Protein backbone atom coordinates (compact mmCIF):
# COMPACT_ATOMS: atom_id res chain seq x y z
CA UNK A 1 0.00 0.00 0.00
CA UNK A 2 2.73 2.48 1.01
CA UNK A 3 5.93 2.23 -0.99
CA UNK A 4 8.97 4.23 0.06
CA UNK A 5 11.76 4.01 -2.48
CA UNK A 6 15.29 5.38 -2.15
CA UNK A 7 14.41 8.30 0.11
CA UNK A 8 17.34 10.56 0.94
CA UNK A 9 17.21 13.74 3.01
CA UNK A 10 20.23 15.87 3.92
CA UNK A 11 20.43 18.80 6.32
CA UNK A 12 23.73 20.51 5.48
CA UNK A 13 26.43 18.01 6.45
CA UNK A 14 23.97 15.63 8.12
CA UNK A 15 22.41 12.85 6.03
CA UNK A 16 19.23 12.22 8.02
CA UNK A 17 18.01 9.54 5.56
CA UNK A 18 20.27 7.68 3.19
CA UNK A 19 18.36 5.86 0.45
CA UNK A 20 15.62 4.35 2.62
CA UNK A 21 13.24 1.86 0.96
CA UNK A 22 10.28 0.20 2.71
CA UNK A 23 6.97 -1.37 1.76
CA UNK A 24 4.09 -1.24 4.22
CA UNK A 25 0.95 -3.29 3.67
CA UNK A 26 -2.71 -2.35 4.02
CA UNK A 27 -3.86 -2.75 7.65
CA UNK A 28 -0.37 -3.30 9.00
CA UNK A 29 0.85 -1.97 12.34
CA UNK A 30 4.37 -0.96 11.35
CA UNK A 31 7.07 0.46 13.63
CA UNK A 32 10.09 2.61 12.78
CA UNK A 33 12.56 1.84 15.56
CA UNK A 34 15.95 3.35 16.21
CA UNK A 35 18.05 5.49 18.54
CA UNK A 36 17.65 9.25 18.77
CA UNK A 37 18.76 11.06 15.61
CA UNK A 38 18.60 8.06 13.26
CA UNK A 39 16.07 9.71 10.93
CA UNK A 40 12.73 8.17 11.97
CA UNK A 41 10.90 11.43 12.52
CA UNK A 42 12.26 12.87 9.30
CA UNK A 43 10.78 9.93 7.38
CA UNK A 44 7.44 10.37 9.13
CA UNK A 45 7.43 14.06 8.25
CA UNK A 46 8.19 13.26 4.61
CA UNK A 47 5.25 10.83 4.48
CA UNK A 48 3.00 13.44 6.11
CA UNK A 49 4.21 16.17 3.73
CA UNK A 50 5.96 18.50 6.21
CA UNK A 51 9.36 17.72 4.78
CA UNK A 52 10.56 17.22 1.20
CA UNK A 53 13.16 14.56 0.35
CA UNK A 54 16.24 15.35 -1.77
CA UNK A 55 15.77 12.09 -3.61
CA UNK A 56 13.41 9.12 -3.84
CA UNK A 57 9.69 8.46 -4.19
CA UNK A 58 6.74 7.64 -1.95
CA UNK A 59 3.57 6.14 -3.40
CA UNK A 60 0.26 5.26 -1.77
CA UNK A 61 -1.67 2.61 -3.70
CA UNK A 62 0.56 3.41 -6.66
CA UNK A 63 -0.17 7.14 -6.64
CA UNK A 64 2.62 9.68 -6.10
CA UNK A 65 2.16 10.92 -2.55
CA UNK A 66 4.90 13.55 -2.69
CA UNK A 67 2.99 15.51 -5.35
CA UNK A 68 0.15 16.20 -2.88
CA UNK A 69 0.19 18.98 -0.28
CA UNK A 70 -0.10 17.71 3.34
CA UNK A 71 -3.80 18.52 3.68
CA UNK A 72 -4.67 16.55 0.53
CA UNK A 73 -2.94 13.37 1.72
CA UNK A 74 -5.26 10.74 3.23
CA UNK A 75 -3.02 10.68 6.28
CA UNK A 76 -3.30 11.72 9.94
CA UNK A 77 -0.34 12.51 12.13
CA UNK A 78 -0.53 12.15 15.91
CA UNK A 79 2.09 14.14 17.74
CA UNK A 80 3.92 13.39 20.97
CA UNK A 81 2.30 16.37 22.66
CA UNK A 82 -1.27 15.55 21.44
CA UNK A 83 -1.80 19.27 20.72
CA UNK A 84 -5.41 19.29 21.98
CA UNK A 85 -7.26 22.61 22.13
CA UNK A 86 -7.49 23.34 25.87
CA UNK A 87 -10.58 25.59 25.64
CA UNK A 88 -12.65 23.07 23.64
CA UNK A 89 -14.52 20.07 25.01
CA UNK A 90 -13.42 16.58 24.11
CA UNK A 91 -16.25 16.26 21.57
CA UNK A 92 -15.34 19.63 20.00
CA UNK A 93 -11.69 18.66 19.79
CA UNK A 94 -12.64 15.48 17.95
CA UNK A 95 -15.16 17.26 15.71
CA UNK A 96 -12.74 20.04 14.73
CA UNK A 97 -11.31 18.43 11.58
CA UNK A 98 -14.74 17.40 10.31
CA UNK A 99 -16.14 20.89 10.91
CA UNK A 100 -13.31 22.37 8.90
CA UNK A 101 -14.35 20.09 6.06
CA UNK A 102 -17.87 21.52 6.44
CA UNK A 103 -19.54 18.13 6.77
CA UNK A 104 -23.24 18.13 7.69
CA UNK A 105 -23.84 18.72 11.40
CA UNK A 106 -25.71 15.44 11.86
CA UNK A 107 -22.91 13.41 10.26
CA UNK A 108 -20.32 15.09 12.47
CA UNK A 109 -22.38 14.33 15.58
CA UNK A 110 -22.74 10.69 14.58
CA UNK A 111 -19.10 10.16 13.68
CA UNK A 112 -17.80 11.88 16.81
CA UNK A 113 -20.17 9.72 18.90
CA UNK A 114 -18.96 6.55 17.20
CA UNK A 115 -15.29 7.32 17.59
CA UNK A 116 -15.64 8.37 21.26
CA UNK A 117 -17.36 5.04 21.83
CA UNK A 118 -14.46 3.24 20.13
CA UNK A 119 -11.89 4.84 22.42
CA UNK A 120 -14.10 4.41 25.51
CA UNK A 121 -14.74 8.10 26.15
CA UNK A 122 -18.47 8.39 25.44
CA UNK A 123 -19.09 9.64 28.98
CA UNK A 124 -16.39 12.34 28.76
CA UNK A 125 -17.43 14.22 25.61
CA UNK A 126 -18.30 17.39 27.57
CA UNK A 127 -15.10 17.60 29.57
CA UNK A 128 -12.14 19.83 28.79
CA UNK A 129 -8.71 18.22 28.22
CA UNK A 130 -7.45 19.53 31.58
CA UNK A 131 -10.14 17.44 33.30
CA UNK A 132 -8.75 14.20 31.88
CA UNK A 133 -5.93 11.85 32.85
CA UNK A 134 -2.88 11.48 30.61
CA UNK A 135 -4.19 8.21 29.21
CA UNK A 136 -7.58 9.76 28.47
CA UNK A 137 -6.00 12.74 26.70
CA UNK A 138 -4.08 10.23 24.65
CA UNK A 139 -7.35 8.62 23.61
CA UNK A 140 -8.83 11.98 22.62
CA UNK A 141 -5.81 12.58 20.40
CA UNK A 142 -6.33 9.16 18.87
CA UNK A 143 -10.04 9.76 18.37
CA UNK A 144 -9.25 13.03 16.62
CA UNK A 145 -6.76 11.27 14.37
CA UNK A 146 -9.08 8.50 13.27
CA UNK A 147 -12.37 10.38 12.99
CA UNK A 148 -11.40 11.62 9.52
CA UNK A 149 -10.89 7.99 8.45
CA UNK A 150 -7.40 8.38 7.08
CA UNK A 151 -5.84 5.58 5.02
CA UNK A 152 -2.74 5.91 7.12
CA UNK A 153 -2.17 7.06 10.71
CA UNK A 154 1.35 8.19 11.62
CA UNK A 155 2.18 8.23 15.33
CA UNK A 156 5.32 9.94 16.63
CA UNK A 157 6.38 8.47 20.00
CA UNK A 158 2.68 8.20 20.90
CA UNK A 159 3.12 6.87 24.44
CA UNK A 160 6.26 8.66 25.60
CA UNK A 161 4.42 11.16 27.81
CA UNK A 162 2.67 8.44 29.84
CA UNK A 163 3.89 6.76 33.00
CA UNK A 164 4.83 3.11 32.88
CA UNK A 165 1.56 1.55 34.02
CA UNK A 166 -0.67 3.72 31.81
CA UNK A 167 1.72 3.14 28.98
CA UNK A 168 1.30 -0.63 29.19
CA UNK A 169 -2.50 -0.22 29.19
CA UNK A 170 -2.36 2.15 26.23
CA UNK A 171 -0.17 -0.27 24.27
CA UNK A 172 -2.91 -2.88 24.51
CA UNK A 173 -5.50 -0.25 23.70
CA UNK A 174 -3.63 0.99 20.62
CA UNK A 175 -3.31 -2.54 19.32
CA UNK A 176 -6.99 -3.26 19.87
CA UNK A 177 -7.99 0.00 18.21
CA UNK A 178 -5.80 -0.59 15.23
CA UNK A 179 -7.44 -3.97 14.65
CA UNK A 180 -10.88 -2.51 15.18
CA UNK A 181 -10.57 0.45 12.81
CA UNK A 182 -8.43 -1.40 10.25
CA UNK A 183 -6.35 1.69 9.50
CA UNK A 184 -2.66 1.22 8.66
CA UNK A 185 -0.57 2.55 11.58
CA UNK A 186 3.05 3.65 11.28
CA UNK A 187 4.54 4.35 14.69
CA UNK A 188 7.91 5.95 15.45
CA UNK A 189 9.59 4.86 18.66
CA UNK A 190 13.03 4.52 20.21
CA UNK A 191 11.66 1.97 22.71
CA UNK A 192 12.30 -1.53 21.43
CA UNK A 193 9.91 -3.20 23.87
CA UNK A 194 7.16 -0.89 22.75
CA UNK A 195 7.88 -1.60 19.09
CA UNK A 196 7.88 -5.34 19.69
CA UNK A 197 4.69 -5.37 21.72
CA UNK A 198 2.78 -3.16 19.26
CA UNK A 199 3.90 -3.83 15.75
CA UNK A 200 3.28 -6.54 13.17
CA UNK A 201 6.61 -5.61 11.59
CA UNK A 202 9.49 -3.39 12.60
CA UNK A 203 12.09 -1.50 10.56
CA UNK A 204 15.26 -0.92 12.59
CA UNK A 205 17.05 2.34 11.69
CA UNK A 206 20.65 3.26 12.28
CA UNK A 207 22.18 6.56 11.13
CA UNK A 208 19.69 7.17 8.33
CA UNK A 209 19.65 3.59 7.00
CA UNK A 210 17.33 0.63 7.52
CA UNK A 211 19.29 -2.28 9.01
CA UNK A 212 16.54 -4.90 9.14
CA UNK A 213 12.81 -5.25 8.55
CA UNK A 214 11.14 -8.18 10.28
CA UNK A 215 8.40 -9.43 12.55
CA UNK A 216 9.19 -8.88 16.24
CA UNK A 217 10.03 -12.50 17.06
CA UNK A 218 12.29 -12.88 14.01
CA UNK A 219 14.03 -9.62 14.85
CA UNK A 220 14.66 -10.78 18.39
CA UNK A 221 15.69 -14.33 17.57
CA UNK A 222 17.49 -13.76 14.30
CA UNK A 223 19.16 -10.34 14.25
CA UNK A 224 21.22 -10.05 11.08
CA UNK A 225 23.75 -7.40 12.08
CA UNK A 226 25.70 -6.34 15.18
CA UNK A 227 23.64 -3.16 15.41
CA UNK A 228 20.30 -4.99 15.54
CA UNK A 229 21.71 -7.68 17.86
CA UNK A 230 22.83 -5.00 20.29
CA UNK A 231 19.87 -2.64 19.98
CA UNK A 232 16.86 -4.94 20.11
CA UNK A 233 16.69 -6.44 23.60
CA UNK A 234 19.52 -7.41 25.92
CA UNK A 235 22.09 -9.68 24.31
CA UNK A 236 25.46 -11.26 25.02
CA UNK A 237 27.85 -10.90 22.11
CA UNK A 238 31.01 -12.98 21.67
CA UNK A 239 33.47 -12.10 18.95
CA UNK A 240 35.29 -14.81 17.01
CA UNK A 241 35.62 -16.74 13.78
CA UNK A 242 32.64 -18.51 12.21
CA UNK A 243 32.62 -22.33 12.45
CA UNK A 244 29.95 -24.79 11.30
CA UNK A 245 28.61 -25.21 14.84
CA UNK A 246 29.27 -21.77 16.30
CA UNK A 247 32.34 -19.56 16.71
CA UNK A 248 35.92 -20.01 17.66
CA UNK A 249 36.17 -17.31 20.33
CA UNK A 250 39.93 -17.54 20.88
CA UNK A 251 40.71 -17.58 24.58
CA UNK A 252 37.11 -18.50 25.43
CA UNK A 253 37.28 -21.57 23.18
CA UNK A 254 34.63 -22.91 20.80
CA UNK A 255 31.13 -21.58 21.56
CA UNK A 256 28.07 -23.37 20.23
CA UNK A 257 25.62 -21.52 17.98
CA UNK A 258 23.74 -21.54 14.69
CA UNK A 259 25.28 -19.43 11.92
CA UNK A 260 23.08 -17.41 9.53
CA UNK A 261 22.86 -19.22 6.18
CA UNK A 262 24.94 -16.65 4.33
CA UNK A 263 27.80 -16.69 6.82
CA UNK A 264 30.92 -18.41 5.51
CA UNK A 265 33.20 -20.50 7.68
CA UNK A 266 36.26 -18.53 8.73
CA UNK A 267 34.53 -15.12 8.50
CA UNK A 268 34.75 -12.65 11.36
CA UNK A 269 31.59 -13.32 13.38
CA UNK A 270 29.62 -12.53 16.51
CA UNK A 271 27.81 -15.16 18.54
CA UNK A 272 24.67 -13.70 20.13
CA UNK A 273 22.94 -15.41 23.03
CA UNK A 274 20.03 -13.93 24.98
CA UNK A 275 20.22 -13.74 28.79
CA UNK A 276 17.18 -16.01 29.19
CA UNK A 277 18.72 -18.73 27.01
CA UNK A 278 21.71 -19.17 29.29
CA UNK A 279 21.62 -22.02 31.79
CA UNK A 280 23.59 -21.40 34.96
CA UNK A 281 25.03 -23.92 37.42
CA UNK A 282 26.90 -23.19 40.61
CA UNK A 283 30.36 -24.75 40.46
CA UNK A 284 30.34 -27.70 42.86
CA UNK A 285 26.59 -28.36 42.43
CA UNK A 286 25.59 -31.96 41.77
CA UNK A 287 24.76 -30.84 38.23
CA UNK A 288 28.24 -29.43 37.82
CA UNK A 289 30.65 -31.42 35.75
CA UNK A 290 27.79 -32.39 33.49
CA UNK A 291 29.41 -31.20 30.30
CA UNK A 292 26.12 -31.49 28.42
CA UNK A 293 25.59 -33.28 25.20
CA UNK A 294 25.32 -31.38 21.96
CA UNK A 295 23.83 -34.42 20.19
CA UNK A 296 20.93 -34.75 22.61
CA UNK A 297 20.32 -30.99 22.57
CA UNK A 298 21.38 -30.50 26.20
CA UNK A 299 23.14 -27.19 26.77
CA UNK A 300 26.90 -27.48 26.58
CA UNK A 301 28.50 -25.71 29.51
CA UNK A 302 30.87 -23.40 27.78
CA UNK A 303 32.04 -20.72 30.16
CA UNK A 304 33.12 -20.32 33.75
CA UNK A 305 32.95 -17.16 35.76
CA UNK A 306 31.97 -15.48 38.99
CA UNK A 307 28.77 -13.62 39.79
CA UNK A 308 29.27 -9.86 40.09
CA UNK A 309 25.77 -8.72 40.76
CA UNK A 310 22.21 -10.02 41.20
CA UNK A 311 19.15 -7.81 40.57
CA UNK A 312 15.67 -9.02 41.45
CA UNK A 313 12.81 -7.71 39.26
CA UNK A 314 9.93 -9.78 40.63
CA UNK A 315 9.23 -12.29 37.89
CA UNK A 316 12.87 -12.54 36.87
CA UNK A 317 16.32 -11.90 38.27
CA UNK A 318 19.28 -10.65 36.27
CA UNK A 319 22.77 -11.83 37.09
CA UNK A 320 25.92 -10.36 35.67
CA UNK A 321 28.76 -12.82 35.50
CA UNK A 322 32.40 -11.94 34.99
CA UNK A 323 34.05 -14.38 32.60
CA UNK A 324 37.86 -14.19 32.36
CA UNK A 325 38.87 -13.37 28.80
CA UNK A 326 35.58 -11.60 27.97
CA UNK A 327 35.50 -7.83 28.32
CA UNK A 328 31.84 -7.36 29.28
CA UNK A 329 30.03 -9.21 32.06
CA UNK A 330 27.69 -11.90 30.72
CA UNK A 331 24.05 -11.17 31.50
CA UNK A 332 21.92 -14.13 32.63
CA UNK A 333 18.17 -14.01 33.34
CA UNK A 334 16.61 -16.56 35.67
CA UNK A 335 12.99 -17.08 36.70
CA UNK A 336 12.00 -15.58 40.07
CA UNK A 337 14.55 -15.03 42.82
CA UNK A 338 18.09 -16.26 42.22
CA UNK A 339 19.57 -18.90 44.52
CA UNK A 340 23.05 -17.68 43.59
CA UNK A 341 24.76 -14.79 45.43
CA UNK A 342 27.42 -12.34 44.24
CA UNK A 343 30.86 -13.92 44.45
CA UNK A 344 29.62 -17.43 43.58
CA UNK A 345 31.58 -19.39 40.99
CA UNK A 346 29.30 -20.51 38.17
CA UNK A 347 29.30 -22.34 34.85
CA UNK A 348 27.26 -21.05 31.92
CA UNK A 349 25.91 -22.94 28.94
CA UNK A 350 23.28 -22.77 26.22
CA UNK A 351 21.76 -24.77 23.47
CA UNK A 352 23.40 -24.30 20.06
CA UNK A 353 19.93 -23.69 18.58
CA UNK A 354 19.37 -20.73 20.93
CA UNK A 355 22.46 -18.78 19.90
CA UNK A 356 22.77 -17.13 16.51
CA UNK A 357 26.06 -16.43 14.74
CA UNK A 358 26.09 -13.31 12.54
CA UNK A 359 28.66 -11.40 10.48
CA UNK A 360 30.80 -9.13 12.68
CA UNK A 361 30.46 -6.23 10.23
CA UNK A 362 27.18 -4.59 9.15
What residues line the site for ligand ATP (CB under 6 A)? Answer: 11, 14, 16, 34, 36-42, 190
Half-sphere exposure of 346 (CA within 13 A, CB side): 26
Cβ atoms 271, 255 nearer than 8 A: yes
In this complex, which beta carbon is closest to ligand ATP, that of residue 26 or of residue 81? 81
Q: Minimum distance from CB of 358 to ligand ATP (Å)?
A: 24
- For 45-80, the DSSP string reads HHHHTSS--SEEEEEETTEESTTS-GGGSSEEEE-T
In this complex, which beta carbon is closest to ligand ATP, that of residue 21 or of residue 122? 21
In this complex, which beta carbon is closest to ligand ATP, that of residue 79 or of residue 85? 79
d(CA 178, CA 191): 19
Do β-strands 152-156 and 75-78 pair in parallel, antiparallel, or remain unpaired? parallel
d(CA 277, CA 354): 6
Residue number, nearest CB to ligand ATP: 41
Q: Minimum distance from CB of 9 to ligand ATP (Å)?
A: 8
Contacts of residue 233, Cβ cutoff 8 Å, sequence gap at least 6: 192, 196, 220, 274
In this complex, which beta carbon is closest to ligand ATP, that of residue 117 or of residue 193? 193
Q: Minimum distance from CB of 78 to ligand ATP (Å)?
A: 15
Q: Minimum distance from CB of 37 to ligand ATP (Å)?
A: 4
**Closest Cα to residue 187, out of 37, 31, 43, 49?**
31
> In the β-sheet with 63-64, what is the strand arrangement from edge to edge?
14-24, 2-11, 55-60, 63-64
> Counting beta carbons within 10 angstroms of the beta carbon of residue 33, is it exposed (0 to 12), middle (13 to 18) or buried (19 or more)?
buried
Report CA torsion sign: 304, 356, 354, 209.
positive
In this complex, which beta carbon is closest to ligand ATP, that of residue 191 or of residue 254? 191
Q: Minimum distance from CB of 16 to ligand ATP (Å)?
A: 3
Q: Minimum distance from CB of 200 to ligand ATP (Å)?
A: 21
In this complex, which beta carbon is closest to ligand ATP, that of residue 42 or of residue 145? 42
Q: Minimum distance from CB of 159 to ligand ATP (Å)?
A: 14
In this complex, which beta carbon is closest to ligand ATP, that of residue 38 or of residue 116? 38
Amino acid sequence: MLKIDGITRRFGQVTALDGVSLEIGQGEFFALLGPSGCGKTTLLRIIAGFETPDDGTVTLDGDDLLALPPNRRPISLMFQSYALFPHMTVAKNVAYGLEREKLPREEIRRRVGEVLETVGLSAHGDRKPAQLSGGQRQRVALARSIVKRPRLLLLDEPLSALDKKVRADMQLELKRLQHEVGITFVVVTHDQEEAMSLADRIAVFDSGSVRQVDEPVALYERPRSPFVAGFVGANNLFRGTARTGGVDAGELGELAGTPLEELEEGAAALLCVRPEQIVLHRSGDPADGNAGDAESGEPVEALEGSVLDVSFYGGVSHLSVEVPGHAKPVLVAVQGASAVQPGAKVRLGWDAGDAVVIPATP
